Every structure is written in C-alpha cells, then in structure tokens.
C-alpha cells in the first residue's frame, strides 16, 4: 500500500507545484491526512447516523476517552508512543465490550452506567499518564487529545484502511439487522436477527472507527465527528438514504475543509478542533434551513 | 390435524420479583387462528416476547421449524420509535431485504413492498415519513411488513389498536385470508366478540391459563377485565 500512497502523493504534489492545486498539497503530511479523511469520512457518516438513531452518542464519547488510558498503557508496556495501536484497540475494545455486557445485566439507566465507566477509565488514564509522563513529551499527549495531522504516517493510513475494510465487510451486510435490533428487538428477533450478537458487533465497529480516527481528530473530539454530521443531516432528512448520504458527505467535507483551511490560511489550531468547528457550522446551517423551511419544520421526524 | 406449530410447556416468567406468567402450558395447532386474550398485565405481551427470545424464562417454548426460523410479527405501536427519519419504504426495506436499507431497494423488492402495502390498505403512503403517519396507518404498515414474505407463523400483538372501523374490517379479512392460505396465527386480541366469531382456538391468560379451547366455547360471561 505504501507504493500506492507514494504514487498518489507524488501526483498531487506535482499538481500543487504547477499551482493546479492549493499550496497545502505540497506537504506530504497534508496529503496523508486528506487520504485518511476520504477513507474515514463516509464511514463516519454511515456509522454516525446509526449511533444517533441508536442513541449511543455518550457511549462513543466514553470509548474515545478510554483511548487515553490505552495510550498510557501502551507507553507503559513499551509500545511506540506515537502509535500504540495494540494497547488502544485492546483497551478500548475491552472497555466497550465490558460496558455493553454490564448494560445487559443491570437495571441502571444507560447514561448512569456509561458515566460510571467513563469516570473510572478517566481516573485510571489520568493516573497512568502522570506515571508515564516522564517518558513522553506533552505534544504526544496533545495530539492524542486533540488530533494532529503532522503525526499521520503510513501506519496510521494502513490502520484506517484496515478498519474501513472491516467495517465494510461486517457492517454493510448487517446494517439492517443492527438498526432493527435497536429499533425493535422483538421484531428483529422475529426476523431471525441474533440481537445480542449484532449489538456487540456494532459496539466493536464503533470502537474500531473511534480508535482509528484518534490521530486526526483526537480522543476528546472524536465522538463529535460521529455525531455532528449525522445530527446536521437529520435536520434536513426525511428518509434513511438521504440521512446516511448527507451524513457521509458532511463528515467527509468537514474533514477535508478542517484539514485544508488552517493550512491554507496559517491558522494555528489543532486539526480535530478545526474539523469539528466546520461540522458544527454545517449543523448550524442545517438547523436554520430546518427552522425556515416548512417542508422540514412541519415534519415529525 | 397437522400437530402443534407452537407449544408452551410450564412457562414461568418473573419481572421485578413478581410472577408475570406462572406455569403456563398450551399448544397452538399448525394452521390455526388462535387468539390470546386476558386483562392488561395478564402476561400476553410478555409471553410473545418470551417466544421471540426477548424475556428470560423457565419452562420451554417449542416453535415448529426451530427458534431460528423468522416469523411474521406485528408489535404494539408504542414499541416503535417514530422519531427516526425513515419513510414507509425505508421501514419495509429495513425489515424485508438484505441490502442495506440506506442503499434503497431493488425494483423487485420495491414492487413486493408496494403490493404488501396495497393489501393492508396503505398503498400510496410509501414515500411518507413513517413517524408522520397516524397510529392506524403505522399499524397497517407494520402489518404489511409482517406478511412480506408470507410467514408460516404470524404473531399479532394488538394490531387493531388505533385503527378505524374500515381498517378493522380490512385487518380481519386479511387475517382470515392468511389463515386460509395455511398461515398459523397467534393474535393478542381484546375484542371478545371478534374472538368468538373468528378464532378456532382461544387461550385466556391472566398469569395462568384460565381457559383454553375453541373460540365458540369462550364463556359468554367472561370479559377481558380491562374494558
């Protein structure tokens, strides 16, 4: 895959040198980040609309925050501190699956349970980070928290490609089952859907995408990019195909613009922040459209 | 007689320490139109949910063809979130096809969905937002999805709640037609007059089985207790 990345990069850099493309395309890290954005944008849109429908926004937030603990564990066990993927994937999957398992076996409200898990994870993460802080510089932690396109390398791109492939192979054939399992579990079961299994699979997919996005968006804001494009799309959608298409489009647009604009205009903001601000502006725009258009204002959806 | 399509044996179920079902045993014969009646809180919906694998229970439930075989099911309206931005066709696609619903439907699938909607009297509503429909219209859509494709067992959990009189007649004639085509029907029904008129067999349930027998033998002085 590295040859393919180099081939794409060389062509785009050549176009930028001949001024056919904006100046930021001259930089290797910008092209790396844009390739990641084009991969992950549609995925965030499809998955994000489902997270919104399934009312799992707080859940995805907690998984993103759990990644900080994963980074600390990675540094402790000697993984590369710039890409501790084994620890991040391992801890976040353990966190998410344990949370889901507990949800099925308690009468506590979901938000309460997620809050408890999130607090525990943050407490452990903060303690471990203080413990390992001597081994890493603060910029590494900053990039984990808020994202940094400077840190995106071929490993990150391969991880994102792998996660996208897994999501497509598992998520697309099971999309209807996953959605139905949350809309009406009894109806899903009547249709032969193994409700528990698809619920756990969805949790795994959300976790994989969340961790894969950390380098660009950051642990603090990753949930926003799952949720805001879907919420923005919902404002002006009355059908599922429109909702999902718009959410994918808005997520991809936000990533691309959020990466390019700060580079083009030398604005010193973290990538994650810029991407989420763009998505938030689109959300405001669609909210205004909904409020001012009878077609959407009158809809009960 | 083709034997039981559905058999509950000593089924017990508790919610919050309270018995909802206590040693319930009865059978529904294959091809029968069987009505389940009883007061609110009598355990009818819990029994259906146990049948659909959604309620932990003791005792056994035997479904002809095994538990993995899909059945047609019309849930109570309150169990379906109407705030999800989906059209009627989206709902039909979500329930009736393998292709992800957000990618739309094939022409053949769309034609089958349109035909089912026509049979339940809501043709022409396919592009309407599901959440914007009236209760009766939504119930008819849920009935349409349950008969696409034709199931061997159709479970109806109060499908006529919120439906107007023409709708009631349409649902009844549709159920009779499905029954004549060999579909086994388990219908939670509060309309005792209708039950006596159309049911081949009836089970009266109030935590325990109070009556099980032919529809016409349902005691004349029995009422559902919640009317």
The per-residue pLDDT for B226 is 46
Q: Do A180 and B52 touch (CB under 8 A)?
A: no
Are B54 and A186 inside 8 Å of each other by CB? yes
Q: Is B104 touching A (CB cutoff 8 A)?
A: yes
Q: What is the pLDDT of residues A39-56, one digit of tens each?
A: 888 888 899 999 998 888
Round to whole Å and give the CA distance between A110 and A58: 9
Alpha-carbon distance A125 to nearest alpha carbon in chain B (angstroms) = 36
Chain B: give the shortest CA distance to residue A132, in Å: 45
Q: Which residues of A touch B73 (CB under 8 A)?
A: 186-187, 190-191
Q: Cα-flanking dihedrals φ and ψ of residue B77, to 5°?
A: -55, -40
Span A287-301, mean pLDDT?
Answer: 73
Q: A59: helix, coil or strand?
A: helix
- CATH classification (class only), A2-7+23-219: mainly alpha
ipTM of the complex: 0.82
CB count within 10 Å of CB B196 equals: 16
What residues 164-223 of chain B have any CB closer than 8 A to a CB of chain A? none
Which chain A residue is nearest to residue B103, measuring alpha carbons? A241
Q: Which two structure tokens, joined as six digits, stand for B108?
A: 């053949």
C-beta neighbour count of A136 within 10 angstroms: 16
Can you give the pTM of this predicted structure?
0.85
Q: Rounded to a whole number, what is the distance in Å from the CA of B150 to chain A's nearest CA?
A: 12
* Cβ contacts of A274 within 8 Å, gap of 6 or more: A258, A259, A261, A262, A267
Q: What is the pLDDT of residue A300?
A: 46
Backbone angles phi, psi at A222, to 5 degrees: -60, -35
Q: H or E element: which one contains B72?
A: strand B72-74
B158-193 pLDDT, tens digit per residue, is: 877 767 787 788 888 888 888 998 889 999 988 888
Residue A142 backbone zone (phi > 0: left; psi -120 to 50: alpha; other: beta): alpha
User: Residue B102's closest chain A neighbor by CA?
Assistant: A241
B208: distance to nearest CA of chain A, Å?
Answer: 23
Rounded to the nearest integer, the mean pLDDT of chain A is 87
Nearest in space to A5 (alpha carbons), one of A41, A30, A22, A42: A30
Q: Are B192 and B27 in contact, with CB atoms under 8 Å apart?
A: no
> What residue spans define the domains of chain B?
1-71+151-218, 84-150
Which of A157-161, A207-211, A271-275, B74-78 has the weakest average pLDDT? Answer: B74-78
Structure confidence at residue B227 (pLDDT): 40
CATH class of segment(s) B1-71+151-218: alpha beta
CA–CA distance, A94 with A144 (Å, rounded to integer): 19
pLDDT, tens digit (0-9, with 9 covering 90-100), for A234-290: 999 989 999 999 999 999 999 899 988 888 888 888 888 888 999 999 999 999 999
Q: Cβ of B100 and A191 within 8 Å?
A: no
- Residues in A closer than 8 angstroms to B15, CB to CB, are none
Question: Structure tokens of A22?
Answer: 């904006």
| pLDDT 10s digits, B34-91 | 999 988 888 998 999 898 888 889 999 988 765 555 689 988 766 667 778 999 999 9
Question: Whose structure tokens read 């502006």?
Answer: A281
Give how far Cα B58 sits from Cα of A188, B7, B13, B14, B224, Å.
22, 14, 7, 9, 26
Among the partner-chain residues A187, A195, A241, the one whose CB lies closest to the CB of B102 is: A241
Q: Cite the DSSP H helix spans in B22-77.
A: 44-51
């Amino acid at each position: 895959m590295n040859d393919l990345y180099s081939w794409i990069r060389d062509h785009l850099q050549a176009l930028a040198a001949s001024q056919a493309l904006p100046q930021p395309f001259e930089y290797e890290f910008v092209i790396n980040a844009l390739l990641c954005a084009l991969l992950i944008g549609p995925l965030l849109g499809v998955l994000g609309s489902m997270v919104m429908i399934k009312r799992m926004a707080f859940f995805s937030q907690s998984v993103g925050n759990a990644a900080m603990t994963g980074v600390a564990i990675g540094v402790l066990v000697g993984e590369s501190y710039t890409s501790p993927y084994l620890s991040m994937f391992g801890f976040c999957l353990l966190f998410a699956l344990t949370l889901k398992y507990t949800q099925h076996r308690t009468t506590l409200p979901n938000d309460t349970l997620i809050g408890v898990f999130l607090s525990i994870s943050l407490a452990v993460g903060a303690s471990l980070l203080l413990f390992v802080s001597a081994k890493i510089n603060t910029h590494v932690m900053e990039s984990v928290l808020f994202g940094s396109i400077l840190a995106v390398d071929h490993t990150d791109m391969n991880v994102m490609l792998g996660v996208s492939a897994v999501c497509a192979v598992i998520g697309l054939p099971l999309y209807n089952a996953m959605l139905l399992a949350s809309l009406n579990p009894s109806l899903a079961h009547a249709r032969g859907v193994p409700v528990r299994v698809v619920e756990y699979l969805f949790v795994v997919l959300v976790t994989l995408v969340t961790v894969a996005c950390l380098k660009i968006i950051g642990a603090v804001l990753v949930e926003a990019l799952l949720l805001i494009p879907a919420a923005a799309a919902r404002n002006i959608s009355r059908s599922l195909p429109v909702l999902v298409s718009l959410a994918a489009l808005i997520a991809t647009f936000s990533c691309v613009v959020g990466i390019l604009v700060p580079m083009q205009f030398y604005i010193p903001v973290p990538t994650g922040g810029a991407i989420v601000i763009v998505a938030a502006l689109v959300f405001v725009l669609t909210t205004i459209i909904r409020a001012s258009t009878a077609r959407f204002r009158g809809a009960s959806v | 007689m083709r034997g039981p399509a559905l058999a509950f044996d000593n089924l017990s179920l508790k919610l919050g320490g309270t018995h909802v079902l206590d040693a319930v045993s009865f059978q529904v014969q294959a091809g029968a139109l069987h009505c389940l009646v009883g007061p609110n809180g009598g355990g009818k919906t819990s029994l259906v949910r146990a049948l659909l694998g959604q309620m932990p229970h003791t005792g056994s439930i035997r479904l002809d063809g095994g538990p993995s075989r899909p059945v047609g099911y019309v849930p109570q309206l309150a169990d379906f979130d109407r705030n999800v931005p989906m059209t009627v066709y989206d709902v039909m696609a979500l329930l009736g096809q393998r292709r992800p619903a957000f990618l739309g439907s094939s022409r053949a699938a769309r034609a089958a969905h349109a035909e089912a909607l026509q049979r339940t009297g809501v043709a022409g509503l396919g592009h309407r937002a599901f959440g914007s429909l009236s209760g009766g219209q939504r119930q008819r859509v849920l009935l349409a999805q349950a008969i696409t494709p034709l199931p061997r067992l159709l479970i109806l959990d109060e499908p006529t709640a919120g439906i107007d009189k023409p709708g009631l007649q349409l649902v009844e004639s549709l159920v009779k037609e499905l029954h004549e085509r060999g579909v086994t029907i388990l219908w939670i029904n509060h309309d005792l007059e209708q039950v006596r008129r159309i049911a081949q067999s009836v089970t009266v349930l109030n935590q325990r089985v109070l009556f099980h027998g032919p529809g016409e033998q349902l005691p004349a002085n029995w009422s559902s207790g919640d009317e």
